[in-house]
Structure 1
């Protein structure tokens, strides 16, 4: 069934619900519904690529920090947590494009003795 045309929150919600009920993934349903609302004239900003990259970067940094905390508290599994922290730091390096964040990544790598 085609999506309803309109830009109200009610129409957007109905479109999302309809797509989810039809078996579409939640993210796809949201994206398609918001796209339809934009076509109807709604002023819904599109997340820029830079915002997505920064969000991914911060997500990996947070995960790396959590693994470092667990490595300090769970000595038996320290090797596992150091390995996971290193993986997340590598991902964070890929997404880092802000000077302060690059410095923070370097500091964490040095602290964890992961090179």
Structure 2
């Protein structure tokens, strides 16, 4: 199986996190669904966070805490937004940057739709 190396910027304290190709595809597909035309209008929780945000972006750590995302990322079922390791958030951000449907903040900590919901 091919591995896509998705690592956080090199720092002395940060350890690299990689998402294999299957995990990366699943994460990308899931986040595109979350912010998609079908789901977002019906998802009151996520839509609330998008609307409360000045730039329409939502914390990627929050998205990583959603049940299916935790499962794909191998995170504990009890992990909360502030407990998601930054290396995982940055690894997910790197995967999401290849999506035409999503935009990721420059620091890699927020995600949202590339286009406004009509």
TM bucket (normalised to shorter chain) is 0.3 to 0.5
Structure 1 or 2: larger helix share?
Answer: 1
TM-score under structure 1 length normalisation: 0.32
**Greater relative contact order (Cα 8 A, min sep 6): structure 1 or 2?**
2
Larger Rg: 1
TM-score under structure 2 length normalisation: 0.32
